[in-house]
Chains A and B, each alone.
Chain A
Amino acid sequence: METSKKHFFGDMSVMLGRSMRHIFRSMDTIITVCITPIAMMLLFVYVFGGALQVGTDNYVNYLLPGILLMAIASGIAYTAYRLFMDMQRGIFERFHSMPIARSAALWGHVLTSLVSNAISVVVIILAALIMGFRSSAGILPWLAVAGILALFTLALTWVAAIAGLSAKTVDGASAFSYPIMFLPFISSAFVPTESMPSAVRAFAENQPVTSIVNAIRALLSGQSVGNDIWVALAWCIGITIVAYIFAIRAYKKHV
C-alpha cells in the first residue's frame, strides 16, 4: 500500500506525459480541438457576424466565451476516446498488475484533459486577440475565468469518463459529446436569448452553457457578474459530483 501511494503523483505525471504525447501525435485531435474552433470563430465573425444583431460593435468579444466552451466540449470527446482505447487494448491491465496506485491511470486521463484543454483555450484566445478581441479585465477576473473554464472542463471530463469506461464501441465512446457541443448554439453564446421564441428561450436560459457564457462574458468585459457566476458554479460542481460518482462506479467494474 505504502509504495503505491507514495508515488501517486509521480505515476500520474508519467501517465500525463504519455497521453500528452498521444495528443500531439494525433493531427485529428489538434484539428478538432484547436483549428475547428478558430475556424468557427472566423466564420461567425467575418461571415455571419455582419448580419447578427447582438448589440455590440466587437462581436469577437461577444463570441469568445461560447467558442471556448465548444472547444472544451470537443476536447473531452477525445478523453473518452483515449480512455476507451486504453481499456480495449489491455494497457490498463498492464498498469493494474503493476505496483502503482490503481487510480493513477484514471487520474492521469483527467489531468491530461485539464492540461490539453487549457492549452487549446490559450491558443484560441491568442487567435481571438489577433482578430481584435480586447478585454479590460484585470488579473482577478481572468483568474476567475480560468477557474470557471477549469471547472467546466473537469465536469465534462467526468461525463466523458462515464462514456469512455462503459461504451461498447469506439463510436459509442465519443458520440455523447455531440449533444454537448450543440448546447452553445441554443444558448446566449452566439446571439442574445431575447431574440429566441419563448420555448427555446426558456430552455436556453436555464441550461448550463448560458450562465457560464454570461459569467465569463461579464468578467472579461469588466461588468458585474451578478447571479450568473453562482448559477454557473452550481452547474459545474453539480455535474462534476454526479458524473464522478457514476464514472468511479464504471471504473470499479473494470478493476
Chain B
Amino acid sequence: MTETAIQVKGLQKSFKKLSVLKGVDFEVEKGSIFALLGSNGAGKTTIVKILTTLLIQDSGTAAVNGFDIVSKPDNVRQSISLTGQFAAVDEILTGRENLVMIAKLRHLNDPRQIAEDLLKRFGLTDAADRRVSTYSGGMRRRLDISMSLIGKPQVIFLDEPTTGLDPEARIEVWKVVKELANSGTTVFLTTQYLDEAEQLADRIAILHEGKIIANGTLAELKKLFPPAKLEYVEKQLTLEEIFLAIISKKEER
C-alpha cells in the first residue's frame, strides 16, 4: 500500500452566498506531483488555502501528512510549505536576507549556511545581496520556491507557480519541481496551463464549478476521450519552440 500525503473528503466552502467548493474529494500519494487544473476562479486557491491552514472549510475533512488540518494545524504547518500565487518574498530585503529570515523562523541551525546553499542551488549567488525589488519575475519565483524548501517540508504547495513568467523561467521552475519530486517531496501544484500539468504531474485532477470532474494519470484521462485518429499533418513549430530556439542560439554565441 502506498502512503497518502494529502487526503481530502467532501470539502465544502462558501464565501457569503457564493458556494466555491461543493464537495471535493481526492488523494495525493507521497512523493508524487499532483496537479490541480482549473480555470480562473474555479476554486484552486481556496483548496490550497484550506490545506495550508489559512482558511477553514465549512464541511468535509482533510489531512496533510496524516494530520487533520483543523484539529492539528501546528503539525500540518510543520510538514508543509506554501508558495502562493503572488511571490511572497520581501522586496526590501535582499535574497540572502529573505532566506536567512525563513531559516530563523523555522528555528534551524546555521541559517547563513542554509541560505548560501540555496542561493547556489537556484543560481542566485550573484544577486544574493541585491534587494529583491531589483529581481526579474523568474528570479523572484526561484527565490520564492527556494524559501519554501527551507526546513525540508514533506509537502510543498505551489499555487500557480508559473503564472506571469516568461517561457524560459517557466522551464526553470519545471526543472525545480521535477527535482523536488525525485528527492521524495510531495508536490501539490495548481495551474491553468494544460501543458504544465502534462509536463509535470503524475496525477491530474480537473476542478470545475466546485467539483473534481476528472482525476487520473495523463494516460487515464486520455482514455476518457475517444481514441486519437491517425492523421498526417505537417509539423508546425509552436511560437514557444521558435522563441526558445532563438534564445538558446543567442546564448551559444
What is A's interface to B at a CB cutoff of 8 Å? 1, 3-4, 7, 10-11, 14, 17-18, 21-22, 25-26, 89-91, 93-100, 255
For residue B82, which residue of chain A has the nearest CB? A97
A18→B80 contact, CB < 8 A: no
Q: Is B201 an interface residue (CB 8 A)?
A: no
CA distance A72 to B89 in the complex (A): 29
For B106, list chain A residues within 8 Å (CB): 98-99
Q: How big is the B interface, by class? A: 20 to 34
A97→B53 contact, CB < 8 A: yes
CA distance A94 to B85 in the complex (A): 11
Quick one: given A97-B54, A98-B81, A99-B74, are A7 and B90 in contact (CB under 8 Å)?
no
For residue A93, which residue of chain B has the nearest CB? B84
CA distance A94 to B88 in the complex (A): 7
Overall SS of chain A's interface: helix
Q: List 12 A-B contacts (CB under 8 A).
A: A4-B77, A7-B107, A10-B107, A14-B104, A18-B90, A25-B131, A93-B88, A94-B84, A95-B105, A96-B54, A98-B81, A100-B105
Quick one: given A14-B101, A100-B105, A255-B54, are A90 and B78 in contact (CB under 8 Å)?
no
| Interface contact tally, CB-CB below 8 A | 66
For residue A88, which residue of chain B has the nearest CB? B86
CA distance A25 to B106 in the complex (A): 25
CA distance A22 to B132 in the complex (A): 13
Q: Is B91 an interface residue (CB 8 A)?
A: yes
B54→A18 contact, CB < 8 A: no
CA distance A68 to B130 in the complex (A): 35
A94-B88, A94-B147 given; name 9 further pairs at CB < 8 Å. A14-B104, A14-B105, A17-B101, A21-B92, A93-B49, A93-B54, A97-B53, A98-B106, A255-B54
For B82, list chain A residues within 8 Å (CB): 93-94, 97
CA distance A147 to B101 in the complex (A): 31
For residue B83, which residue of chain A has the nearest CB? A94
Residue of B52, B87, B101 near A97 (CB, 8 A) is: B52
A89→B105 contact, CB < 8 A: no
A90→B77 contact, CB < 8 A: no
Quick one: given A21-B93, A90-B84, A90-B88, are A99 and B54 in contact (CB under 8 Å)?
no
Query: For residues 40 through 82 of chain B, which have their beta carbon under 8 Å from a beta carbon of chain A?
Result: 49, 52-54, 74, 77-78, 80-82
A-B CB proximity, top 9 nearest: A90-B88, A94-B88, A97-B82, A99-B77, A97-B52, A99-B78, A90-B84, A14-B104, A90-B86
Quick one: given A7-B107, A10-B107, are A97 and B90 in contact (CB under 8 Å)?
no
For residue B131, which residue of chain A has the nearest CB? A25
What is B's interface to A at a CB cutoff of 8 Å? 49, 52-54, 74, 77-78, 80-82, 84-93, 97, 101-102, 104-107, 131, 147
For A98, list chain B residues within 8 Å (CB): 77, 81, 102, 105-106
Question: From residue A27, how far is it (CB to closest CB) to chain B in Å?
Answer: 12
Residue of A3, A14, A18 near B74 (CB, 8 A) is: A3
Question: From residue B227, how far is it (CB to closest CB) to chain A in Å?
Answer: 43
For B131, list chain A residues within 8 Å (CB): 25
B92→A22 contact, CB < 8 A: yes
CA distance A235 to B105 in the complex (A): 36
For B77, list chain A residues within 8 Å (CB): 4, 97-99
For A26, list chain B residues within 8 Å (CB): 92
A89→B91 contact, CB < 8 A: yes
For B107, list chain A residues within 8 Å (CB): 3, 7, 10
For B88, list chain A residues within 8 Å (CB): 89-91, 93-94
Question: From residue A171, how far is it (CB to closest CB) to chain B in Å?
Answer: 19
A89→B54 contact, CB < 8 A: no
For A22, list chain B residues within 8 Å (CB): 92
For residue B97, which residue of chain A has the nearest CB? A21
For A89, list chain B residues within 8 Å (CB): 86, 88, 91
For A11, list chain B residues within 8 Å (CB): 105
For A94, list chain B residues within 8 Å (CB): 82, 84, 88, 102, 147
For A18, list chain B residues within 8 Å (CB): 90, 93, 101
CA distance A17 to B104 in the complex (A): 11
For residue A14, which residue of chain B has the nearest CB? B104
Question: From residue A195, how far is it (CB to closest CB) to chain B in Å?
Answer: 45
Question: From residue B113, how far is it (CB to closest CB) to chain A in Å?
Answer: 17
CA distance A22 to B94 in the complex (A): 11
CA distance A215 to B244 in the complex (A): 71
